[in-house]
Chains A and B, each alone.
Chain A
Amino acid sequence: MQVPAPFEYERATSVDQAIGLLERLGSSARLVAGGHSLLPMMKLRLANFEYLIDINPLHSELGYIRLGDDEVRIGAMTRHRELLESEILADVFPIFRDAEKVIADPIVRNRGTLGGSLCQADPSEDLSAVCTTLDASCVIRGTAGERVVTMEEFHVGPYETAVQDNEILTEIRIPRKNFRAGSAYAKVERRAGDWAVVSAGAAVWLDDGRIVDARVGLAAVGPNTTGIPEISAALRGNEPSEDLFQLAGAIAARSCDPSTDTRGSADYKRHLADELTRRTLRTAVERARS
């Protein structure tokens, strides 16, 4: 049995109380949500914290999926499983269900959260790629109140986010556009439940058969999950076609910065960025049309 170093543990009773504890304990404390990223690191003693503040009691406060006219709001404590099973989400942003089907396994999905996934800021994190694809913004709360940042601002570097030691991520907001929307996600993994070799998400918005906007987000091909503005620029205003997807794939391959590791060679990952970009765009367009 792998055992972590000693730590003290407290259950949060409210968001504000949790923030108060963080304020007091500083960098010696960490929030624990699903624990599926934090606890393995602590057991391997790659991470040692003196205090853990358990925010699972805040699930009732921060676990929700709310559909508004111009945005979808998802609480940070919403679990993978809830994202997987949400019909509302599958209806407006099917990319979530696509992604959740290939994230980890049921045991991890029962506990792991959207907030934990984003805050972990692992370059291979699938939900970060999903949120990047959907141009989400993140609501961060501290003693001074709330601030809202874009995904680009949120991810400062690998395993590093804009969330300060005394802050908590409370919500993700995803804009809805008044067009026919379609989205999709695809992942290549060595085995079910493994982290991505590469994954890609795509979202398109069509008006009168033309692409008014499109976004592609990639995971595991660089220091952070990567959104690619050049692809959006290349697609906007055009009618979807295989040639266009091919162009987008080529841009994806050359814009990313993968490295060779046990999951695969950099060349292969670049190839996948291309291949998966084309596949997800194709599916997203099909979905937007139907």
Chain B
Amino acid sequence: MTTVHEPSQAKITEFEDNDQKPVGFGRMLRKEDARLLRGRGRFVDDVQLPGMLHLAILRSPFAHATIVSIDTSAAEASPGVKAVVTGETLKGLGLAWMPTLSNDVQAVLATDKVRFQGQEVAFVVAEDRYKARDALELIDVEYDVLDPVVDVRKALEPDAPIIRTDLEGKTNNHVFDWETGDEAETDAVFARADVIVKEDIVYPRVHPAPMETCGSVADFDPVEGKLKLWSTTQAPHAHRTLYAIVAGLPEHKIQVIAPDIGGGFGNKVPIYPGYVLSIVGSIVTGKPVKWMEDRSENLISTGFARDYIMRAEIAATAEGKILGIRTNVLADHGAFNGTAAPVKYPAGFFGVFTGSYDLEAAHCKMTAVYTNKAPGGVAYACSFRITEAVYLVERIVDALAYELAMDPAELRLKNFIQPEQFPYATKTGWVYDSGDYEPTMRLAMEMAGYDELRKEQAEKRARGELMGIGISFFTEAVGAGPRKDMDILGLGMADGCELRIHPTGKAVVRLSVKTQGQGHETTFAQIIAEELGIPPDDIDVVHGDTDNTPFGLGTYGSRSTPVSGAAAALVARKVRDKAKLIASAMLEVSVADIDWVKGSFQVKGDPGKAVTIQEIAFKAHGAGDLPEGIEGGLEAQICYNPSNLTYPHGAYICVVDIDPGTAEVKVRRFIAVDDCGTRINPMIIEGQVHGGLTDGVGMALMEMISFDEDGNCLGASLMDYLIPTALEVPDWETGFTVTPSPHHPIGAKGIGESATVGSPPAIVNAVVDALKPFGIRHADMPLTPSRVWDAMRGQATPPI
């Protein structure tokens, strides 16, 4: 099932191929890039409507405080101001609270008290964004400051201040308890293990920080009763349905348009108060209203990611056979539980923490709590908490290797799930569709020159130099998901797709998913091209507008190709089936006597007698009768319900050097071998991998949203919240293997998040490996020079 390819040498010659435009899969330049690179993209902030007003939000300076009073009179009198709205006004409209994606509620504007710094308190609508912003200064809010809950470990202490006083009868800060696996079985394997290794592992709070911040333009037409909403959303259809439910507007009178989106990474999955406020602003003023948050607002108030404190334990035999893993997690969910995950999965897909290994038992217990921090969770390219799961298992496996004095590559190879075990049911209830791990691992080791690297390391250690080699091997679970198990607020996670072939053989395909930079306009055109033999340039990909696309749940969790990609392939096959009937009539032979050869139907044994898909399309719309029972036109639609998730995997190897004097970490090399099944456009895949690896360097070495003891966010600008630049990353070395998904029509798995999920453990493992001479077995991210220096002196501390 597996084919192993040579590592791709991304040299100049390959880029020449990009212009060759395959009719189907292969490298080609992205169709959307001509527009995006020439400044012809149209983002939400580019939307200009006649008479449009601007909205600015007043936010709480405190993490926890009662609102005593709000005086808006001076703001209302400020020049150019059209409306000032507070929570009290919204309360009157029944709009002060809205549901979150996890069946909690979140304040649209605070009424009783504020629960995190940056929370929305009031808004101003004015003639321009300057006047709106100036008027915010004139709103006088009197706060009565309360003690905040900042330290997540203290959130459940009996005397902790109660954050969610809005929830009736709530007497603590508990959100949920969650458990997976078998505790008794796991305890039993731990009891007979030769070695048990335990580590406390923190995955700090980070932020997706997309280049484009969140925003919207709402245009409510009071005559038609129709609301048009341009917004930065990764899930336009899901948002529309939720607006219908929240605002009580009829769904057919709401049009959500996601134009070009400047990066999402999960940050644009939730509905933020700002979107709702722009709608309220438009209804109140009768004018189109634009809201565009600034960078600080984005960093302090929108969906964060991670924030898990994990106790990990691994049990093994003395020979290095892993028996079981158990973990206890404390999850910080911020002030409202805004986690974006299928409802039956409050911890997302964290259950895959057993990784790529064949274990006898596993168990996880998790407690989630409220704190006075921004809500969110499960954002940032994490495949619904798989980032945390992979980090946990890959870190603890390395700690085991340390304890057993075994090579970490060898330990992994010894414990992999074997190819014949697939489909593989894990001890926590997941069924891995396909995988062949060893060739992937071996390819990465070969590309890295693993044995040579270890030799070099030994020589350097002898000279007192610090060099580290880190490995991570991950299995992802993406493509949510089967509707029997997975829904978001009751909406099943199946995706629609519509395909129409025009009379001249050009085509339009309409998708429910929405690219934020992933290249859908190219990838989906290539999927249709592969199935129908129509060149990708002849296929228009329409997405992001709910009035013009079929229903589906959007783009996140690497689900576009696994779900909508399958829908696109199948809808094309439906069209092809119909085309075959028309072709048989055109060729005057029976359907049994014709073959599909990409792009045309040919008479068996007589390739000279053939009709192309373009000719068939014209016939389908043209003059003259069609065969009996065949309607005119050549189009189809479908709604695809995946039977399982897809499980991509990969082997990553990172080489770091640490300056022993300053403790600065330099990522010298990074080898990433990914297996995402069938590869549609290798160039797009590499782009996704490069971006994700860069994310990984950021999280491992510098990114963290931290708070002071008063709950002030210390990462409120990009000077404070660091994201990596080209100077922090090496020349990526990428390779691949191909293990198709058995249940996906073209065998493709997701790739969007693999590198973000897989790279942080490789980098941290490399740093910890470099610090081995100091007797270090674990150090937490972010591995800033100061924190590495602490570790070198045996004083590593958790970041929170």
Asked whether B714 is an interface residue with its Cβ less than 8 Å from the other chain, the reply is: yes
Residues of chain A within 8 A (CB-CB) of B714 are: 262
* CA–CA, A191 and B663, complex, Å: 13
Residues of chain A within 8 A (CB-CB) of B790 are: 265, 268
Chain A positions 174 through 208: 1 when the CB is less than 8 Å from some CB of chain B, otherwise 0: 00000000000000101111110100000000000
Question: Which of B137, B292, B702 interacts with A190 by CB under 8 Å?
Answer: B702
Contacts A191-B702, A268-B790, A271-B789 given; indicate if A6 touches B724 (C-beta within 8 A): no
Asked whether B130 is an interface residue with its Cβ less than 8 Å from the other chain, the reply is: yes
Say whether B702 contacts A262, CB under 8 Å.
no
Chosen A-B contacts, 12 in total, with CB atoms closer than 8 Å, are: A40-B719, A188-B662, A188-B664, A190-B722, A190-B784, A190-B785, A191-B724, A191-B725, A192-B728, A197-B785, A262-B720, A264-B786
Residues of chain B within 8 A (CB-CB) of A263 are: 784, 786
* CA–CA, A65 and B701, complex, Å: 39
Say whether A1 contacts B294, CB under 8 Å.
yes
Say whether B727 contacts A264, CB under 8 Å.
no
Question: Which of B292, B662, B722 interacts with A191 by CB under 8 Å?
Answer: B722
* CA–CA, A44 and B661, complex, Å: 37
Say whether B789 contacts A268, CB under 8 Å.
yes
Chain B positions 67 through 79: 1 when the CB is less than 8 Å from some CB of chain A, otherwise 0: 0000000000000
Question: Which of A5, A192, A269, A272 interacts with B727 by CB under 8 Å?
Answer: A192
Asked whether B134 is an interface residue with its Cβ less than 8 Å from the other chain, the reply is: yes
Chain B positions 720 through 749: 1 when the CB is less than 8 Å from some CB of chain A, otherwise 0: 101011011000000000000000000000
Say whether B717 contacts A3, CB under 8 Å.
no
* CA–CA, A1 and B132, complex, Å: 12
* CA–CA, A228 and B294, complex, Å: 42
Asked whether B295 is an interface residue with its Cβ less than 8 Å from the other chain, the reply is: yes
Q: How many residues of A contact B (CB 8 A)?
A: 28
Asked whether B48 is an interface residue with its Cβ less than 8 Å from the other chain, the reply is: no
Within 8 A of A (CB), among B754-794: 784-786, 789-790
Asked whether A275 is an interface residue with its Cβ less than 8 Å from the other chain, the reply is: yes
Say whether A3 contacts B130, CB under 8 Å.
yes
Say whether B662 contacts A275, CB under 8 Å.
yes
Sorting the interface of chain B by its residue count into under 10, 10 to 19, 20 to 34 or 35 or more gives 20 to 34
Residues of chain A within 8 A (CB-CB) of B129 are: 1, 3
With CB as the reference atom, state the residue of chain A lying closest to B132: A3
Asked whether B706 is an interface residue with its Cβ less than 8 Å from the other chain, the reply is: yes
Asked whether A279 is an interface residue with its Cβ less than 8 Å from the other chain, the reply is: yes
Chain B positions 132 through 143: 1 when the CB is less than 8 Å from some CB of chain A, otherwise 0: 011001000000
Asked whether B296 is an interface residue with its Cβ less than 8 Å from the other chain, the reply is: yes
* CA–CA, A6 and B129, complex, Å: 12
Number of A-B contacts (CB under 8 A): 66
With CB as the reference atom, state the residue of chain B lying closest to A260: B786
* CA–CA, A264 and B790, complex, Å: 10
* CA–CA, A271 and B727, complex, Å: 25
Say whether A2 contacts B294, CB under 8 Å.
yes
* CA–CA, A3 and B56, complex, Å: 11
Say whether B786 contacts A44, CB under 8 Å.
no
Question: Which of B292, B296, B701, B728 interacts with A44 by CB under 8 Å?
Answer: B296
Contacts A1-B294, A3-B133 given; indicate if A195 touches B719 (C-beta within 8 A): yes
Residues of chain A within 8 A (CB-CB) of B720 are: 262
Residues of chain A within 8 A (CB-CB) of B292 are: 1
Within 8 A of A (CB), among B692-708: 701-702, 706
Chain A positions 1 through 38: 1 when the CB is less than 8 Å from some CB of chain B, otherwise 0: 11101100000000000000000000000000000000
Residues of chain B within 8 A (CB-CB) of A192 are: 725, 727-728
With CB as the reference atom, state the residue of chain B lying closest to A276: B662
- Interchain nearest-CB distance for B753 vs A (Å): 23
Residues of chain B within 8 A (CB-CB) of A1 are: 129, 292, 294
With CB as the reference atom, state the residue of chain B lying closest to A272: B662
- Interchain nearest-CB distance for B730 vs A (Å): 14
Question: Which of A6, A44, A190, A269 interacts with B130 by CB under 8 Å?
Answer: A6
* CA–CA, A265 and B295, complex, Å: 27
Residues of chain A within 8 A (CB-CB) of B134 are: 5-6
- Interchain nearest-CB distance for A186 vs B (Å): 9
With CB as the reference atom, state the residue of chain A lying closest to B706: A262
- Interchain nearest-CB distance for A198 vs B (Å): 9
* CA–CA, A101 and B42, complex, Å: 36
- Interchain nearest-CB distance for A208 vs B (Å): 31
* CA–CA, A200 and B662, complex, Å: 13
With CB as the reference atom, state the residue of chain A lying closest to B664: A188
* CA–CA, A263 and B662, complex, Å: 13
Chain A positions 260 through 289: 1 when the CB is less than 8 Å from some CB of chain B, otherwise 0: 001111001101100110010000000000
Residues of chain A within 8 A (CB-CB) of B702 are: 190-191
- Interchain nearest-CB distance for A167 vs B (Å): 29
Residues of chain B within 8 A (CB-CB) of A5 are: 134, 137
